[in-house]
Amino acid sequence: MIAFDTVSYSYAGSAAPLFGGVSLELARGSFHFLTGPSGAGKTTFMRLCYGALLPSDGRVSLFGQDSAQMDRNAVALARRKIGVVHQDCKFLDHLPLKENVALPLKVSAQSKLADDKNISELLSWVGLSGRANALPPELSGGERQRAALARAVIMSPDVILADEPTGNIDWEMSQRLLRLLVELNSLGKTIVIATHDLSLIRTAKTMVQARVLRIAGGSVQIAGADL
């Protein structure tokens, strides 16, 4: 699916890499948490996972292809297999929710799949069936996060990357979002959640077999069982 082979990443002009020597695989159907202090590189790691960044050294493979050797079309095709829930949840404020959720289908020339029934079923799954015609500014933080998840999975991706998806919502809504991600994992999807919320990780470990990756000190390590 996605594999790192001795990957390092450095910001331009930086003397030391943000992290280095990272080798790991995000296998099909696996569930991962990515944690670490602010600024450690969680978002950078996630961006490497979908080809938005290229490693400074080493190799990132996206579905068997070296991301550094992929042209724009190849990257675009790979991204159809990767759903991303961004930390800031950007939407087009002039479009109703149902049209925002359907945008990935229209951008990829699959608008024929964006019929009302499919969109309604997806919005019902994330608990937003009554908000289909609401504009993004009318949504609460929790509703926006669930809408972002709906948009991320509308292409039926193999991998879902969620960058701090519960950072701006309350605990009850965090649990609801987590349950949706666990359900996706039970369907064979690979899940990666970047978070600093250790309580969320502890709760998830009662629901799913998850591996915890911790970015610290310039490396990515498998965290201990004390989380």
Over pLDDT 90: what percentage of the chain? 69
Closest C-alpha among 140, 141, 97 to residue 122: 97
167's tokens: 């950072």
The pLDDT of residue 85 is above 90: yes
57-74 per-position pLDDT tens digit: 999 999 999 999 999 999
pLDDT-based confidence at residue 111 (cuts at 50, 70, 90)? low
Q: What is the pLDDT, as a whole number, of residue 226? A: 42
The answer to whether the beta carbons of residues 87 and 43 sit under 8 Å apart is: yes
Tell me the whole-structure pTM to 2 decimals: 0.91
Q: Which of 7-16, 76-85, 134-143 has the lowest mean pLDDT?
A: 7-16
Beta strands in the chain (DSSP E): 2-9, 19-26, 31-35, 57-62, 65-66, 82-85, 159-163, 190-194, 211-216, 219-222
Closest CA to 119 of 101, 104, 136: 101
CATH number, domain 1-81+157-227: 3.40.50.300
The residues facing 55 across adjacent strands are: none
> In the chain, where does the domain assigned CATH 3.40.50.300 lie?
1-81+157-227
pLDDT score of 34: 96
- Asked whether the predicted pLDDT for residue 114 surpasses 90, the reply is no
pLDDT value, residue 35: 94
Question: Distance (Å, rounded) from C-alpha 45 to C-alpha 90?
Answer: 20
- Asked if the model's pLDDT at residue 170 lies above 90, the reply is no
Q: Give the span between the Cα atoms of 106 and 109, in whole angstroms.
A: 5
Supply the pLDDT for residue 107: 77
Residue linked to tokens 């709906």 = 150
Say if residue 225's pLDDT is above 50: no
Phi-psi region for residue 163, left (φ > 0), alpha (ψ -120 to 50) or beta?
A: beta
pLDDT over threshold 90, residue 115 = no
